[in-house]
Amino acid sequence: MAAGGSRAALQIRGVAKTYRLHDRTLPVLADIDLDLERGQFVSIVGASGCGKSTLLRLIAGLEGDYAGEIHIDGAPITGPGLERGIVFQDHRLLPWLTVADNVRIALLNRPISTGDAASLVREHLALVGLQGFESAYPHQLSGGMAQRAAIARALINAPKVLLLDEPFGALDALTRLRLQGELQRIWMRNRSAMLMVTHDVREAVYLSDLVIVMGGSPGRIVSRARVPLPHPRDRALPALREIEEEILSQLIGPPDASANRAVAAPTAA
């Protein structure tokens, strides 16, 4: 395994994905090229149905059967793997396990001792601010706390890339803001590369080094906006607002070439 320091944590080359529905083919992703450097925070924004969640599921290895290449740290992916962590929109904690056991379940296939596992769990629950809730059950947690536990579960294997699929989409506005700040703090300490899919442009700009705008059908990358500001950031920074406005105008401004494609009927097989 040649893990050169310059190699991208995640490398996506020419990825395309087509769904087959009965006798029709439905292209959902086309020509996706994307690099994530180590420790970089990248967000993908775009309208519903632009395929951004599908892209995340491809990277997670939860869906196969695509064209192109996806490499993690230089190695092509084959199905799911612990070097990638994933946080879903619903927390997906198992209701029959305590918070600590829900985090520990991610360690089942790691060859480590019970003692090491326990201290890893403790450490990661502390990282997300859930110390004291080890033996609580998911139904006893608020939505924000449950999502924190899900983040701890996803980070416990120290993934090279953490995939976040609209992680705060199901939370109320205040909890959402608080968790955004928390995620920034966790990321600055942990420095996994992060790839987050979100509807919320402000959230994307606040947290990311790079915001990818996707659009069209099939979904493709329309533009990339760098956010060249140091972390941690003040969410009231005017520079953030400017970038946000720019991205928003792309998303809801006059239709461009790729948006026009969305009107075209799916090609028959």
Partner 1 sequence: MTVRGRLWAAVRALLVPAALLGLWEFLSRGGAAATYAFVPLGKIVAAGRTALSNGELAGNLLASAQHACLGLVTGSLAGVLLGACLGTSRICDRILGPLFHGLRQVPLLGLAPLIGLAFGNGAGAKLLVISLAAFFPVALATGDGVRNVERAHLELGRALTLRRRQVFRHILLPAAAPAIVSGFLQALAFAWLATIGSELLFTASAGLGSFMQQGEANGRMELVIVGMIAIALVGLAMNGLVNRAVYRLLPWHAVAQK
Chain positions contacting partner 1, by CB under 8 A: 60-62, 79-82, 86, 88, 90, 92, 94-97, 105-106, 108-109, 137-140
Residue 266 beta carbon to partner 1: minimum distance, rounded to whole angstroms:
25
CA distance 126 to 1: 33
Cβ partners under 8 Å of residue 74, min gap 6: 1, 2, 3, 4, 7, 11
DSSP string, 133-160: -TT--GGGS-HHHHHHHHHHHHHTT--S
Nearer to partner 1, 16 or 97 (CB): 97
> Rounded to an integer, what distance in angstroms lies between the CA atom of residue 259 and that of residue 111?
48
Q: C-beta of 245: minimal distance to partner 1 in Å?
A: 36
Least Å from the CB of residue 140 to partner 1: 8
What is the four-CA torsion angle of 167, 172, 177, 183, rounded to 10 degrees? Answer: -30
Q: For partner 1, give the closer residue by CB, 140 or 142.
A: 140
Residue among 131 and 140 whose Cβ is closer to partner 1: 140
Spatial neighbors of 45 by CB under 8 A, at least 6 apart, are 52, 198, 199, 200, 201, 204, 211, 212, 213, 214, 247, 251
Nearer to partner 1, 108 or 265 (CB): 108
Least CB distance from residue 222 to partner 1, whole Å?
28
Q: At CA 51, angle to CA 48 and CA 71, rounded to 5?
A: 145
Closer residue to partner 1 in complex, CB, 142/260: 142
- Nearest approach in angstroms of CB 213 to partner 1 is 26
Q: How far is the CB of 181 from partner 1 (least distance, A)?
A: 26
Strand partners, 67: 16
Complex with partner 1: residue 163 or 251, whichever CB lies closer:
163
Which CB sits closer to partner 1, 94 or 269? 94
Handedness of CA 113, 84, 183, 164 (dihedral sign): negative
Helices (H) and strands (E) in the chain, counts: 8, 10
